[in-house]
Structure 1
Amino acid sequence: MMTRAECVHGTAGYPSRSNRRGYVRIGRGFDDLAMVYALRAAVYLAEQDCPYREEFDGNDACSTHFIGFVGDEPAGVLRARYFADFVKLERLAVLKRFRRSTIAFDLVREGISFARRKGFQRIYGHSREGLEPFWARFGARPFDDGRTIEFSDCRYTEMVIELTPDPDAITLNSGGQVIIRPEGDWDRPGVLEQSETRGSTYRAGNAVKTRAP
């Protein structure tokens, strides 16, 4: 849940009177990942002067990326990584011209909802010291022992959000076709379900695949 942009801009993402409508979707392809890189580079590298290797840390290919839009314009991003019993929300970045919108709130809410739907009941993250109230709006609290961490020239408070279980969380009992649907799009049939109409074309022990009539 850390946002290093806040280290420079203080109130990044706080709501204002802006009425521009925003929405969030999951990044799915290489074009979306390029969009994520461009947004984070504009915020962290260009504005904060963060070293490239500290921002692009090798974790992007194994993460879920949320992209927030204001109108049709990409405005902000958030990253989620997964561990045994918690999700880590991180790399929240909002372009300067959209910081008077609510897109930062939209991104965090979507990340929390996504974690609950995947069955997680805890979110971990970092908040720059002094900005804990932003994350407290989502139920985040510092660890009881006041744990902190320092990196990229800032000190951060380690925080955790305890989630209420989602009654529609994806489990082993959700069904195979639900589990293989695209991430975050579990409520409607996916392309693999549509492939069922072709019938089975593979027969064990037969090297030649034949399409069923």
Structure 2
Amino acid sequence: MRVAAIRNSVYIGEQECPYDEEYDGNDLSATHLLAYIGDEPVGCLRVRFFAGFVKFERMAIRKEFRRSRTAFLLSQAGLALARKKGYRLAYAHSQTRLIDFWSRFGFRPLEGSKKFIFSDFEYVEVVADLEPDPEAVTIGTDPYVLIRPEGRWHVAGILEQSNSRPATEPSIKKKH
């Protein structure tokens, strides 16, 4: 709800984006980062993971918080998450007026790409090379780490507590 409230304010309210274009069917398959100042939700970033690259989308910062470092910190957090997952390439659609912002994080216009328009704004494809985190989550990572909540691989999860109980398979025994 918080992510939607921020995006509604920024994209639908300020930028007059049509609802069906803002909510394009990709939200349920994405990771959403939410930024707070104190207890107040102030910004968000949608991240989708593809074979070989991560895509940053729908960065939105509430108008009254745009002079804060929220956009910078959200971008850093998104890149850190991608690196922790072992990604080497980040991709985004940048409004042309925001290319300088994305260049601070190593993004550059994708070679051979052309400007394009959607929701009444001009965009350009941008990419950045990433160095995977030395402790990136991989197929060889401890299975308990792999079932921890997304982005919290460094904190023991609830399922690890069940390791202290023997495997009794209660639902299978009831059927026999």
Matches within 5 A, 1:14-53: 34-53=1-20
Q: Identify unmatched segments of 5+ residues in structure 2.
A: none
132, 157, 173: which one aligns with 1:207: 173
Matches within 5 A, 1:52-201: 52-201=19-168
SS in structure 1 at match of 2:92: strand
Q: Is the 8 A contact 2:31 2:46 kept in 1?
A: yes
Q: Is the 8 A contact 2:85 2:132 kept in 1?
A: no
Cα deviation for residue 39 of structure 1 reads: 0.8
Q: Identify unmatched segments of 5+ residues in structure 1.
A: 1-33
How far apart, in 2, do the equivalents of 1:199 and 1:38 lie? 45
How far apart, in 2, do the equivalents of 1:128 and 1:203 lie? 55
SS in structure 2 at match of 1:62: coil
Query: How many residue pairs get matched?
Result: 175
How far apart, in 1, do the equivalents of 2:154 and 2:49 lie? 22
How far apart, in 2, do the equivalents of 1:44 and 1:165 lie? 32
Counterpart AA for 2:143: G
How far apart, in 2, do the equivalents of 1:143 and 1:57 lie? 23
How far apart, in 2, do the equivalents of 1:35 and 1:107 lie? 15
Q: Is the 8 A contact 2:148 2:157 kept in 1?
A: yes
Q: Is the 8 A contact 2:94 2:125 kept in 1?
A: yes
Fraction of identical pairs, as percent: 49
> What's the TM-score once normalised by structure 2's chain length?
0.95
Q: Which has the higher contact order (CA 8 A, sep 6+)?
A: 1
Once superposed, what is the RMSD of the aligned Cα atoms? 1.5
Cα deviation for residue 47 of structure 1 reads: 1.2
SS in structure 2 at match of 1:166: coil
How far apart, in 1, do the equivalents of 2:72 and 2:82 lie? 15
Cα deviation for residue 203 of structure 1 reads: 7.1
Residue 22 of structure 1 is matched in structure 2 by none
Counterpart AA for 2:173: A
Counterpart AA for 1:81: R
Cα deviation for residue 146 of structure 1 reads: 3.9
Q: Is the 8 A contact 2:89 2:127 kept in 1?
A: yes
Q: Segments of 4+ in structure 1 off by > 3 A?
A: none
How far apart, in 1, do the equivalents of 2:4 and 2:161 lie? 33
